[in-house]
Amino acid sequence: MPYRASGAGYADVARHFRTLIHDGELGPGDSLPSVQEIREQFDVSAKTVSRALAVLKQEGHVASRGSLGTVVAEQQPTYRSGAARVQLIDRGGNGLLGGETSVEHVAGMRSVDDLAIAEALGVDLRDEIAVRARVFVRDGKRRVYAVSCYHIRAVAAVPELPEQQPLPGQWQTLYAERTGREVHRSPERYSARIATPDELRRLHIHDDSSSARAVLVVSTVWHDEEGPLAYWEDVYGPGLSHMAASS
């Protein structure tokens, strides 16, 4: 990922390598460029590079390995939010982290039975919406259950939404091209709630205790000038760190 900007600071350098690690372009054990190479790439001082590497070490992203220099450390399981995956695709990626796959793809039309979803989309309970869902798997474990709900206005412009096969492009791009309206995203919202039996099943969370299991939920709403178009909700399994979309 080429980056060169006069006056770049340590935060720019740290952000660059942090993104490469989160995207899976640099994996555990991979060496970072030398201090001199980073200096030339960013046009910064050795002090700036040292400060950036110190930040990455403090975050647990890299470690010093003697003659090997600075290498990528073993990472805690990380999940990229739905909106952040869109940004990754915009940069030429496929939206997946290194070694990640997705399973249990589901798509179709259904009636809204969740008041939170109805309010987010500005529809009534039992109104028809399109729903697409899948489970993200990494290191052999089901990490996240992602559900996308679409207003009937979005379906009218992108009729492929309730179909089982992959979309021919990002739905936001398809909608904008076909309607001439720009699509915007709300800031991500974070909340916690008790997992539903279906979420526990999809994430393979088997708990024989009588205690309820809490999950982290990251949601965002997509809209155009006329109102809401889509509501995305990502349900995190336990032991997972999160990488949000940039604003």
Average pLDDT over residues 219-244: 84
Who's near 21: CB < 8 A, 6+ residues apart?
27, 61, 62, 72, 75
- Beta bridge pairs of residue 64: 70
Highest mean pLDDT among 16-25, 106-115, 190-199: 106-115
* CATH 1.10.10.10, the chain: domain bounds: 10-72
d(CA 66, CA 147): 45
Q: What is the pLDDT of residues 200-216, one digit of tens each?
A: 999 988 765 556 788 88
What's residue 20's pLDDT? 87
Please tell us whether the domain made up of 10-72 is placed in CATH 3.40.50.150: no
What's residue 183's pLDDT? 96
Check whether 74 has a pLDDT greater than 60: yes
* The token pair that represents 141 in the structure block: 């474990």
What predicted TM-score, i.e. pTM, was given to this entire model? 0.70
- Beta bridge pairs of residue 138: 100, 141
Tell me the pairing of strands 128-138 and 184-185. unpaired
DSSP state of 56: H
**pLDDT level of residue 118 (50, 70, 90 thresholds):** very high
What's residue 240's pLDDT? 54
Q: What is the pLDDT of residues 4-50, one digit of tens each?
A: 444 578 989 999 998 888 777 888 889 999 999 999 999 999 999 99
CATH architecture of the domain with range 78-243: 3-Layer(aba) Sandwich (3.40)
Query: DSSP string of 189-208?
Result: EEEEEEPPHHHHHHTT----
31-61: buried (b, 16+ CB within 10 Å) or exposed (e) per residue? ebeeeeebbebbebeeebbebbbebbeeeeb
What's residue 88's pLDDT? 67
What's residue 27's pLDDT? 82
* CATH 3.40.1410.10, the chain: domain bounds: 78-243
User: Of 205, 234, 240, whose CA–CA distance to 95 is shortest?
Assistant: 234
User: Of 102, 56, 89, whose CA–CA distance to 234 is shortest?
Assistant: 102
